[in-house]
Amino acid sequence: MAIELKMPALSPTMEEGTLAKWLVKEGDEVSSGDIIAEIETDKATMEFEAVDEGVIASILVAEGTENVKVGTVIATMAGEGEEAAPAAPPAPAAKEAPAAAAAPTPAAAPPKAEPKSDPEIPVGTNMATVTVREALRDAMAEEMRRDDRVFIMGEEVAQYQGAYKVTQGLLDEFGPKRVIDTPITEYGFAGIGTGAAMGGLRPVVEFMTFNFAMQAIDHIINSAAKTNYMSGGQMRCPVVFRGPNAAASRVGAQHSQNYGPWYASVPGLIVIAPYDSSDAKGLLKAAIRCEDPVVFLENELVYGRSFELPELDDHVLPIGKARIMREGKDATIVSYSIGVGLALEAAEKLAEEGIDAEVIDLRTLRPLDKETVLKSLAKTNRLVVAEEGWPVCSIASEIIAICMEEGFDHLDAPVLRVCDEDVPLPYAANLEKMALIDADRIVSAVKKVCYK
Amino acid sequence: MAKAAKTTKKSDAGPPAQDMDFILHSLQEAHEKAGRYDASVEEMLHFYEQMLLIRRFEEKAGQLYGLGLIGGFCHLYIGQEAVAVGLQSALKEGLDSVITGYRDHGHMLAYGIDPNVIMAELTGREAGISRGKGGSMHMFSTEHKFYGGHGIVGAQVSLGGGLALGHQYREDGGLCLAYFGDGAANQGQVYETMNMAALWNLPIIFVVENNGYAMGTAVKRGSAETEFHRRGTAFRIPGMDVNGMDVLEVRGAAEIAIAHVREGKGPVLMELNTYRYRGHSMSDPAKYRTREEVQDVREHKDPIEGLKKLLLEKGKSEDDLKAIDKAIRARVTEAADFAENSPEPAAAELYTDVVVGNY
Ligand SMILES: Cc1ncc(C[n+]2csc(CCOP(=O)(O)OP(=O)(O)O)c2C)c(N)n1
Ligand SMILES: [Mg+2]
């Protein structure tokens, strides 16, 4: 029986890829462990290894084919001791990708809703389409060019080009003095970064993910956040702690936590959690220039998404200002980070049902832009908070408290929160899906506050 | 071994003055003298089967990952089989405890845990050993005293210290084998634990699986002292430097380390020199090493091929070994079928096991 070789999934988030190169041809004998093809994912070129022994009977997808869906049969192999099957129909030319492969991937597709333009950006500015990953990298590169006190340190940031490729190319441009690979010692290097900031440098400390910053949280809170206050304003600590935060894809309970509420509860810290490329770049640049310690929370699932980015020489955005992503009059959805995409998707669905929702991206979690939230509440009188994170003691809880304390007279319905389920994140695909917030849940909550 | 002589520290209050170098290197010397474990052909066949089971299981897991049946992070143990098999075969199963990081499938298989429930955990199904809620990195079997399956680099080392404290506290004669990587060996809590383990004479064997890389970081780029077996020196923990690609050498070293710990002489630090053939996880493009480097280890140091040669010398035939391979492939295919066909966990499972009590 012929063995089908299928387009492999080579990362937790991969849904399709480019078949970059075949390293075997029809009729070649392969044994387990041989590299038979190179496949490009959004992050890297990966080698595809044979698992079985046998002869390559036919190659069904030509090299150079883009957008090959995971699971597509790309070649067949005759097993050990079998005759190679007669050559199958010729592989389609690289350009005519299999029909199935052309379908857009749902996870990568940004919501259809065209976000409202940011008033901070001058009207008429040229826009480029850039991924969040590139926007973050460019922010660091620009700040490093501008200020030689700025350097980056963390695990795999230099030679490996970043575990999630956010620091790609920085080592080449700035060299090993300013792009420093550390051992796996979060507590130690977070302390070194904090101390370097106390001593006058401007470190950007990357955590491979914020889950591992729990090893280092003592320095973030006890050393970085409190120094300025304890020293009566003498000793500053302009350090940026950044990296991916919150759930990725199927990585289980220890690798899937949103630390937004944790850090946002600490006086002395600035906490930023951008959603799109413009905010990622503009706010990371602001964070690096900031005199205070900043926790900058990114999201792995958003790294590969493309958004418009203003082509400005120096795109710096103000810290502490929320952004209205979509104007609406019937209800307000407040969110941040990956939740913003879901809120915009929910707003689209609600529009089809005649509910005009306003979507606010908090962007900065501390200090929180109460004014923008309360102003929107005064307009719509109904509010829902959408947060990819646990519900208890969350940013959502905080927004609800603010609405109670300062917006009570404007409320026509109780403020509701739509968060993840109150459980550690499970690995099983069905349970994970149930545990995480989605657009439909936001839609139901908005309808509820609209009594519809 | 050429080691600089150190001055012996004399203390008035402490235990009688001893030759520090002698203590620190005594196990290594015993290991070098004893050499490989003198296994019977039966035992060798058993090691061969276990290593091959791990290899074929991991290959299958890689394949299922490629098919999208396994998600998230999946770290394969291919190349390192002799370490878990050689060490764990010397333990008293059901008494001694084992703990490791996220690269845990091999250690479970080496402890005789059913491949079906491991594979079903990988596919996130109800029949999985953690009911599908843990995944590749988080598997446990308290029945076998296998305590996981931990995702935070270095955490398992102090947890292992706690398991050892439990053995000492209960005076049950057991010990704990705590595995960690060359990268994990740089975490501070490892040394905090070593200090306490030595101070309190805990029955623990620290096992550094030095596979040359921590993700993309080669050992010499992340470690000032690359001879990990020396890292217990500051705590007076004797070290052993072991070829982790030879199951009989591993087992031989294990005998010596275990005897030392069981005699109540306190912790041992073993460095097992090994190699991982695959990327760090399924999503590692592995650009930090050459294909030739991997190929060279496969061709010259492979633990399974090495034992195969020995078995052939001992009179086993190619056909005997082929039959074993065939049976193992069938076993792994069965596990994969089981894992693919088991149902996903019931929706209600989302809320179970968060806490034990009802409040
Ligand atoms: C505290 C912490 N930091 C970083 C990571 C990400 N990470 C997972 S495995 C790994 C490399 C570990 O290498 P090593 O200890 O040599 O073990 P190996 O993977 O080689 O078995 C890293 C950096 C993590 N899981 N936990
Ligand atoms: Mg390693």
Ligand 2 centre to CA of B222 (Å) is 11
Asked if B215 lies within 8 A of A71 by C-beta distance, the reply is no
Q: Which residues of A touch B136 (CB under 8 A)?
A: 427
For residue B5, the model assigns a pLDDT of 40
Q: Which domains does chain B have, with CATH numbers?
A: 32-336 (3.40.50.970)
Answer for the pair A377, A410: CB distance below 8 angstroms, yes or no.
Answer: yes
Q: What percent of chain B has pLDDT over 70?
A: 94
Task: Output phi, psi for A19, to 5 deg.
Answer: -85, 90
Asked if A429 lies within 8 A of B60 by C-beta distance, the reply is no
What is the nearest CA distance from B281 to chain A, expressed in angstroms? Answer: 9
Q: Which residues of B touch A423 (CB under 8 A)?
A: 350-351, 354
Q: Among B59, B69, B73, B355, which would you mutate to test the A interface (most chain A Cβ atoms within 10 Å of its Cβ)?
A: B73
Asked if A428 lies within 8 A of B344 by C-beta distance, the reply is yes
Q: Using a 6 Å CB cutoff, which residues line ligand 1?
A: A 155, 184, 186, 208, 212, 215; B 103, 151-153, 181-184, 209, 211, 213-215, 280
The size of the A-B interface in CB pairs under 8 A is 173
Interchain contact B231–A (C-beta under 8 A): no
Tokens of A305: 């998404």
Asked if B217 lies within 8 A of A9 by C-beta distance, the reply is no
CA dist list (Å): B171 to B157, B159, B168, B174, B292: 21, 18, 5, 8, 50
> For residue B283, what is the nearest residue in chain A, using CA coordinates?
A11
CA dist list (Å): A254 to A346, A427, B102, B184, B280: 29, 10, 11, 16, 18
Asked if A9 lies within 8 A of B67 by C-beta distance, the reply is yes
What is the nearest CA distance from A358 to chain B, expressed in angstroms? Answer: 32
What span, in angstroms and rounded, lies between the C-alpha atoms of A134 and B296? 37
Of B71, B130, B184, the CB nearest to A184: B184
Ligand 1 centre to CA of B190 (Å) is 14
What is the nearest CA distance from A136 to chain B, expressed in angstroms? Answer: 22
The pLDDT tens digits for B203-254 are: 999 999 999 999 999 999 999 999 999 999 999 999 999 999 999 999 999 9
What span, in angstroms and rounded, lies between the C-alpha atoms of B54 and A327? 57
What span, in angstroms and rounded, lies between the C-alpha atoms of A409 and A391? 25
What is the nearest CA distance from A190 to chain B, expressed in angstroms? Answer: 13
Q: What is the DSSP string of B119-178?
A: HHHHTT-TTSTTTTSS-TT---BGGGTEEEE--STTHHHHHHHHHHHHHHHHT-S--EEE
Q: What is the pTM of this model?
A: 0.90
For residue A6, the model assigns a pLDDT of 86
Task: Output phi, psi for B268, to 5 deg.
Answer: -130, 145
Residue B21 pLDDT class (50, 70, 90 cuts): low
Q: What is the DSSP string of B277-312?
A: -S-SSTT---TTS-HHHHHHHHHHH-HHHHHHHHHH
The reply to whether A127-310 shares the fold of A2-94 is no
Answer for the pair B205, B180: CB distance below 8 angstroms, yes or no.
Answer: no
Who's near A327: CB < 8 A, 6+ residues apart? A116, A358
What CATH number was assigned to the domain covering residues A2-94? 2.40.50.100
For residue B356, the model assigns a pLDDT of 96
What is the nearest CA distance from B72 to chain A, expressed in angstroms? Answer: 4
Bridging pattern class, strands A306-310 and A416-418: unpaired
- Is the previous residue joined to A106 through a cis bond, with omega within 30 degrees of 0? no
Question: Mean per-residue pLDDT for B21-35?
Answer: 86
CB atoms within 10 A of CB B187: 25
Ligand 2 centre to CA of B253 (Å) is 20
Ligand 1 centre to CA of A210 (Å) is 14
Asked if A71 lies within 8 A of B71 by C-beta distance, the reply is no
Interchain contact B304–A (C-beta under 8 A): no
For residue A258, the model assigns a pLDDT of 98
For residue A114, the model assigns a pLDDT of 54
pLDDT in tens, chain A (452 residues): 678 888 888 887 788 889 989 999 999 998 877 788 888 887 677 888 887 788 999 999 999 999 998 888 999 988 755 444 443 343 333 333 333 333 333 444 444 445 678 888 998 999 999 999 999 999 999 999 999 999 999 999 999 999 999 999 999 999 999 999 999 999 999 999 999 999 999 999 999 999 999 999 999 999 999 999 999 999 999 999 999 999 999 999 999 999 999 999 999 999 999 999 999 999 999 999 999 999 999 999 999 999 999 999 999 999 999 999 999 999 999 999 999 999 999 999 999 999 999 999 999 999 999 999 999 999 999 999 999 999 999 999 999 999 999 999 999 999 999 999 999 999 999 999 999 999 999 999 999 999 99
- Residue B275, pLDDT above cutoff 70: yes
Q: Which residues of A touch B217 (CB under 8 A)?
A: 155-156, 159-160, 181, 183
For residue B4, the model assigns a pLDDT of 39
Of B135, B278, B279, the CB nearest to A250: B135
Residue A49 DSSP one-character state: E
H-helix segments, A68-221: 99-102, 132-146, 170-174, 186-198, 217-218
Answer for the pair A340, A118: CB distance below 8 angstroms, yes or no.
Answer: no
What is the nearest CA distance from B200 to chain A, expressed in angstroms? Answer: 25
Q: Which residues of A touch B72 (CB under 8 A)?
A: 12, 248-252, 255, 427
Measured from the alpha carbon of residue B279, the closest ligand is 1
Quick one: B240 exposed, middle or buried, by C-beta within 10 A (0-12, 13-18, 19+)?
buried
Ligand 1 centre to CA of B153 (Å) is 5
What span, in angstroms and rounded, lies between the C-alpha atoms of B268 and B241? 11
Whose structure tokens read 């078949």? A19
- Residue B297, pLDDT above cutoff 60: yes
> For residue B184, what is the nearest residue in chain A, using CA coordinates?
A184
Ligand 2 centre to CA of B41 (Å) is 32
Of A159, A250, A430, the CB nearest to B288: A159
Ligand 2 centre to CA of A304 (Å) is 28
Tokens of A53: 């022994």
What span, in angstroms and rounded, lies between the C-alpha atoms of A296 and A244? 9
> For residue B151, what is the nearest residue in chain A, using CA coordinates?
A254
The pLDDT tens digits for B163-181 are: 999 999 999 999 999 999 9
Shortest-distance atom of ligand 1 to CA A215 = 1
A183-203 core/surface letters (b: 16 or more CB in 10 A; e: else): bbbbbbbbbbbbbbbbeebbb
The pLDDT tens digits for B104-155 are: 999 999 999 999 999 999 999 999 999 999 999 999 999 999 999 999 999 9
H-helix segments, A147-183: 170-174
Q: In what order do the strands lie in the sheet with A35-40?
A: A45-49, A35-40, A16-22, A65-69
Residue B38 pLDDT class (50, 70, 90 cuts): very high
For residue B1, the model assigns a pLDDT of 35
For residue A115, the model assigns a pLDDT of 63
What span, in angstroms and rounded, lies between the C-alpha atoms of B47 and B45? 5
CATH fold, domain A127-310, is Rossmann fold (3.40.50)
Residue B284 pLDDT class (50, 70, 90 cuts): confident
Domain range list for chain A: 2-94, 127-310, 323-449
Answer for the pair B103, B75: CB distance below 8 angstroms, yes or no.
Answer: yes
Chain length of chain A: 452
What span, in angstroms and rounded, lies between the C-alpha atoms of B281 and B213? 12
Q: Among B133, B180, B182, B290, which would you mutate to test the A interface (most chain A Cβ atoms within 10 Å of its Cβ)?
A: B133
Model ipTM value: 0.92
Q: Which residues of B touch A51 (CB under 8 A)?
A: 59-60, 62-63
Of B112, B111, B104, whose CA–CA distance to B87 is shortest?
A: B111
Enumerate the active-site residues of A: 186, 255
**Selecting from 3.30.930.10, 3.40.50.2300, 3.40.50.1450, 3.40.50.920, what CATH number does the domain A323-449 have?**
3.40.50.920
Q: Going by CA atoms, what residue is nearest to atom 8 of ligand 1?
A: B153
Q: Going by CA atoms, what residue is nearest to atom 17 of ligand 1?
A: B181
CA B35 to centroid of chain Cα atoms: 20
Ligand 1 binding pocket mutation candidate from B215, B228, B271, B289 (most atoms within 8 A of CB)? B215
What span, in angstroms and rounded, lies between the C-alpha atoms of A247 and A299? 8
Residue B194 DSSP one-character state: H
> For residue B60, what is the nearest residue in chain A, using CA coordinates?
A51
The pLDDT tens digits for B73-114 are: 999 999 999 999 999 999 998 999 999 999 999 999 999 999
Shortest-distance atom of ligand 1 to CA B103 = 21
Asked if B59 lies within 8 A of A11 by C-beta distance, the reply is no
